[in-house]
Structure 1
Amino acid sequence: MSSTSNVFETSEGSDAVNKSNRVKGKAKDKTNGKESSDIDDGLDDLLNELKDASDEDEEEDDLALTSGDEENLDNNSNTNNNNDNNNQFTFDDQSDEEPLFLSSDDDEAYGDIEDDDENYTLKDGLRLASNFKIKNKGASKSKSYWRRKMLRSTNRELDPEVRSNLSQANEAFVRNDLQVAQNLYLEVIKKDPKNFNAYKTLGEIYKQQGKLNDCCNCWLLAANIHPWDSQFWGNVGELSSQLGHIDQAIHCYSRAIQSDTNKSVRFVLERAILYKEKKQFGRALEGFQRVGQQFPTDTMIIKNIASVYVEQKRLNDAINLYMRILDNNINPKPGLKQKIPKFGWAELNILLELYIQQHSWRVGIKVIKLASRWLQDRENEKWWDDNDDDAEFSEKRRMEIIDKLDKEDVKKEAREKVYHLPIDIRYKIGTLRLGLDQKTEAMNHFEYLLEDEDDIADLFFEAGKVLEESGYHEEALTFLTRASLSDDFNTSTELINLLGKCFIEVGDYQQARQAYETLLHHEPDNLDYKLALAEALFHLGDPRAGRLIVEVYKKHPTTGDSLETKSDSEKTGPEIDVENNNLSLIKNQTFRAKSSKLTDQEKLEIENNAKRTVLEKYRRMLRLEESINSGDKVAVTAWMQLASQLVEMFMRVRSFFPRDKNRAFKGIVLYRRKKQMGLDEKLARVYNLYEGIVNDENYSRQFLTSKTEYRGLNYNEWFVIFVQYAIFLSKFDKNIEYANEIIEVAMSVSVFVQDKQKEALLRIMKLIFGISKEEASTTITTYVRFFLISNQFSPFIYKFFICCFASGIRSWDTFTNYNQQKFFLRQLKAYDSIIQGKRITGMATITADIENVKLAKEHPDLLYVYANLLGGSRSYVSSVVYLNRAYKEYSHDPMICLVLGLAHVHRSMQRLTTNRHIQLLQGLSYLLEYRELREKSASDYELQEIEYNFGRLFHMLGLSSLAVVHYNKVFEFHDKLKDDNTYDLSTDAAYNLSLIYNINGNSSLVKDLTEKYLVI
């Protein structure tokens, strides 16, 4: 429920009642032409009226009963009965057992108070008040029951000692000797436990001594002795209510209603108010409806009924209640004698509040125009409906439209009509227009607040709040700043928080810092305040920003659990005040309402709050991007904290994770994912709890959002958040495991994997993390195979495949294993089948789109990769065969010449070669061709590479002298490339050359090489 829903509060001095008074004081009601009476004291006036009527009836009964004459009692009873028959609303004998209105199913108390009090004891009353049933000891009362009961009590003979003590106690009480009187009354009670006067006067003594709880207990005992005295029961109930003994007060009012022969509704109203306070709304509604039948024109009763409807989540019933009143006022039914409440500006204010809670923006505006035209006698002004604006309430625009009318008499009459609205109604129209995203029209109404001279700080606050929620932060500051000037709001944490958010959004970080420092002074453990303050400090260049981020990041993860537990406990209702509750005879029971599902309106309100939170966090992340790009680690950490909250929220949406990922996305059904949560996720849950985002498991299964966005962000933006968050986790936190989990979650999101580009990027991320963890045989092989299949015959993807495998024996084994060779052979056969135009046995399925593509006779990259796979498994003959195919078409490629030459050299060194020297000579010829091609326009890197390769070749062949020459030439490039250790081959050449010197016994040169090239 929105913060403005307190228009239904009935407590004296509440803001809502003051608002209603303000509305009534600013406008006149059309029905009577006079200013409507204030509703601030409406409920009190009604109670006083009922009380006076009850006192008069009680005095008449006392006069009739004190005579002790039974005949007088009968006559008085007949008189009262005749008076009852003339009342507008009366109760029969069964009214308390069979109420006129059905109560809620969750209320079963005080409904069956036993009618025979011959055996009725205080113990029974206590059991009944504690919701325990007692046995039915008698039949229903007759109308003369209480008279007979009273006569028996009046004519009861007293013990002489009791009579003497009672007389002395009365004398002591009259002379104000309270202690003596108290002791004597206690003696009377010991001798005569059913002495009404003793208990009653003893209670008066306690009252004068300030012992109100003792007084209340004595009076409760006295009331049980004289159960027919409804007025006394009412007095005890009133005192119990003042002392906070709610259950005891309800019991007393129930007994007063039972014993009230005049069937007054005063106690019904008092009890209904207590039921409402106790949140037993079903019984409260029953009581208010009964009073409403007796006083159908009292608007305060209507307001209470509507407030109960709201508490019961029956907004439509509350709206219909006021709409019927409005309809009966505008269109009174002829011949209808039933009295109807008057509809004025205060009632319109409440009705609009209900429409705002229901988010019925358009309907609310229509009702404003309908009611205001009727109240201002402008019902015939239909021309305003031609435009969707509020020109009829604006002086300038109103006159412009009136001047365009055709008839002069209509113009004259329209100019003289009243069109001004109470300030509360202005605020309501602005809120409704803002709900329709009509900012300009809304601001036209909000600006009237700034011109009002009255103290309307509450409206300034509400206007600023709705503007901030709608994303208009600069405009919100205007009203929030005005609200902060009031003594009622200048210390409000909610107001300061809103100001802080707006200051950050408009870039006033100095003011934002002051706001959040003030908030942290009151709530030093609030994580979101710390994050917001860190952001403000970061933009101000304050080094405390980094410390705050680290402090939040290292927050103990059980904070989330404790906070969630606290939130759950708060939902069960207020705790019992044990110290106060023990002072009453009837203990207060904590009422737990039945669990009920969230209404559609509440779901929408929760969703809107969550959307505002997501957009606010996303804007903060965007502001950090520039600093992140410049390498600021504090900005990176702050960004990651915000991203973790959004990722955690996104991961709780079940509809993003269907079993069939290929099924078209139809919308979102929210749920709670059950999984083990790490530190970041627990912190994110804490932040979301602080933001008021409840568990999604409370939602019913229904679609909540569109197919293109979730909570204000489209799915491209959500995707970027996931990927960037994973990158930051791996790069800055070095937490590759958690980053990998985030990508795995993203790969399960249907709206991501159904986009081929997003799916490919996620697989790239998995491949990157696999390379980082050196998972060559699992992750790398799996995901690189995906790109090979999806990009068939792509030269780039074959180069990419080679780059994915690092150096080392493990990667080499995975690179050259039989499965890889078989895969590329099938791809090569598929390419050959395209060139030859026929199917080849063992070929792969052709998935590439080769239509309108002219293919070369040979695919050099595919042949090169397959030849290297064969060479890696020492199948040099087969490798030479496929490299010769590539060489025929691409003889000017230095890498093909290099690999082909090495294949011949390695084959020449194998035991089964047919002609070792010719094979070696053939290999050297290809290597010399490689050198010639490589030297063309070569850089220092390439020239060094050539010398190293030849040095390594001769070293392998055992020609150490030639190897030493080429290794030494590698060192000539060291000074040029020493700043780039990644590509400088001097270290490798020095190590190989040191091996040659060691074998030849030249340790001195080995030492020199080691010190110069091999020492870090």
Structure 2
Amino acid sequence: MSGYPHDISPAYAFTGQGHQYPDPEASQSQTLIWPTHASTPAQGTGGFSLDNARAEFAAASTEQRNQRREQVEGVDDILDMDFGGDSDDSDPDYREFGKGIRKMQNEVRQARHLDSDDDSDEAPAGRKKGKKRGAKGGRGRKPGIRGPRKAAEPTGDIKLRLGQANHAFLNGRCEEARDIAAEIVRINAETYEAWTLLSACFKELGEYNSAVKALMVAATWRPKHPGAWYAALNFALNETGDLRSEFLISAQYAAQQILRADSQDLEARRIKASLMLERRNLSHAAKEYEIILKRCPFDTEVIQTLASIYVDRGQVEVAMKLYTKTLDKFKKADVEIDTPFGWTDAYAYVELFGLMEKYTEGIKELRSVARWLVGRSEEKFWDQFVDDDREWDDDHIRRSECSQFDAKTFPLDTYGPGLPVELRVKLGLYRLFLGHYTEAMRHFNYLKTSDYNGQSLVEEFPHLFEEVADTLAEKGYNKDALDYYLQLAPGVGSEGASLQFKMGKCWLGEKSDQEAELCFQNAVQMEVDNIPARMELAKLYERLNEKDQSFMYVNEIIAIRRTQRQNENPAFGTESSDPAPSKKPRRKHTTFPGIRRGQSRYAPRRLLNPAERKKEEAARAEHLQNQYSIMKTELEQMRAGDPTATYKWMEAAEDLIDDFRAFKTFYPWDKYVKFLGYTHDDKFQAETKLETDLTEMADRLSKKLGADAEDRTSATSASIPADYRGISFSSWLDIFLEYAICLAKDGHDRESYEICESARDAIVFYHKREDMFLIHVCWGTCALLCNDEEMCIRVARYFMREYQFTTDSYRMYAAIARLCQSPVSWYCSGPEQKYMLRQVKAMDFNLVDKTRRQRGYAEKAGYTSQDKDGKPVLNDDMDVALLMLYGHILYSGTSYAYSLNYFLRAYALDPNNAIINLNIGLAYVHHSLKRQADNRQFMILQGLTFLFDYYNSRKQSTILEERQEAHYNLARVYHMLGVSHLAIKYYLRVLKENDGHESSREDIEIDTAYNLKILCMVTGNKKLANVIARKWLVI
């Protein structure tokens, strides 16, 4: 039997990702039953004594059976280990983990019994039936300490192999060390050092799952040694990096085994409890922490953790009782405690009263505990002042009104200045909840003071400012709330957006619509998909009769929610084939059409009074005019490549583009939300799950604006403006495209794609076929400059979709893929193959007879081009470029046999085309070299036939480069086939063609000379190789 567990292959690989760690079988059970030395002939006779041999064999067999029996007894503790733990029965993951371990134990037991079946005739009857051996039932247990037997000393061979493995590992040859360690385990699975070395090798190779398994198996062989289990536990928690969460069960299991070996190990119990808490197994974590608390009753960290568990389980009263008992113990403790009850513990205790909404009791306990902590526990007379907190004032003015107060008894620092800011704010919050506004604001005003360093407290306690402001706003004190919000502003990102939204709500409560509008717009700018701020803006504009703006924000909310659902469920909606911003490495990236992520974009405020609004717009226009003048001045130098001019031009262009993108009229959402507003179609609303108020608002606004939309639709072209801010739309498009190319040249691929997307989404360009063509040409140029093959392919697909069955669109696809300096992974990827196949089927659909057309009616969906009447554009002939393109894609993916189908179809249409002959010949030759080739020689002949047709047509060309190309390609084919003498012949023709000529296009002389030199070196002609190198390869 193998020394490997059943799920570890002898080839050292751990492939499973589960947590079923097997128990290795003892390698000593594999000892041979044959004698280790050959029987000698009987003395006194000239031959071999069969009786003596049998007697010797029987004696050796009996001895080895006894040894195996002792081994089985020695591993009883290993096989009887509790790998699950009764305390974790409610945890399905841990229970499944334990089942895997117990399954492994049963397999080991069966293996042990199978090895000892042959000595059953010598075993006592009581042992066969599993009864306990005693005075009447067998030999009984030998005296001594119970437990697993001591591991046998490694043999010399094992030690030698261990040394080799360690030497290889230290020298960085991890794979070699892994192989040697795996061989050691195969020989003797009990070699602990081999398992640990195997784990180290797996770690260096990045196979963390296998490394943890190896350590677990190693620890299983030393179940009573906590060190081995600690090694597995620490590795699972600290060495697995981002995969740590996958090994929490393993770490918990290791901690459980440490406790089985030593139930008093407090550190292991802490780790086990924290792991249960991390896995949200709250009930069992609470039991473990309760056990720890019995042994460490003054451990405040355990108290806080246990109380938080009780709160998470909804047992707030239990947590409060825990703190009450603990507080009594601390107050009665006579000795010095390592972890005293501090302000943090007091805050956690007082917080419980807020969770139960017992604010009066909370205030009383807060003051009592704080009084005890500062050393004034005997001043209980302050409890009579229920409606105020004069005890914690900064001065003695109000305290002096109490007759029992003596200012000389305790220093001033034990009163107001001694109360931490967090507890003072909590005291104010509880007062505010009780309606004691004046007393609450007295506490809150401490936040507006400075600390002892003179710095504002807002930098140290921003969360307290926000909590106070939130509570004041909740209670309706909006003006007071704004005082604290304004000290936090401005923020950034989602946190800043949330702050701006809260401030906007407060301004609405104060009836200040202009300030509310600004805050909500800032929230939208900071967080691109912020729905609540858009909802408030929509309600605000509707109330102020700004119907257009309100309807725009309603549509934005609808589109954002739909996009979010599409991201959560890709099956929702249809997949767009338009290019989308991407950046290597490829990762999912969410963008919403018409919305950009820039935070500096200008957003006009519609609620300013006319004079202020006109003044602001004039200032903005003057700034943009200056920027436009800079652009015109630096344009020529920018195009010439001057760095300084380019920087100035790009800076000015960015301001102009941001202003253009901020003009909402150019990005109407009804272009994307086609079933709302003017069409009164309810289908989209049925698909989009909205709140009732949003649905009603959208319907109400669309009805009010429907007539205006119809009027705008029927407007004459003469009434449509042709410029924006005095700049024609064609000039705006030039600015967009040149700015995108400048960004791409600087390596900002994502930003350049976003500029192209902005131009595409603008309605002034979207419906003009010429503008869309230029935008996508620029988009493809940016992708080429950024060497982004994925984006190149996406842009090329746009041209094939919009200009279907147009030869130039397929040629552009091939040209873009050829120019992109990257592997052909996207060019011949699975999605691209499927897309091209649909194009071929769509082409064939209109060319077959009616019967076959009905059978393949689904292919009609592949038509994407439409004429001016909206009808699909049908082809009337085959397109050789499309057939060759799809064939090349298959050819690049080494599907030579399939590519021949399409090459031959193209050959039937244009048999004299040299490129088609070349591709057919190469496909045959390459396929002949594959293992699946049936008749290799025949395929080579077929390929050479087409290659010679190609060669004969090319060598007649009057263009030098084409003749060189023909010689070179044929030479390369002979070179690939190993026919060196013919390859040399045609390589030399390439070099001879250039005598007396200057190459003006592609120069393949260096490639030819290099290949020729290699062939000469391989054939042993070093002299000729040196001549070629000196003449052609020396620069």
Give the TM-score category using the shorter length: 0.3 to 0.5
RCO (CA 8 Å, sep 6+): is it higher in 1 or 2? 1
Query: In terms of Rg, which structure is larger?
Result: 1
Taking structure 2 as the reference length, the TM-score comes to: 0.39
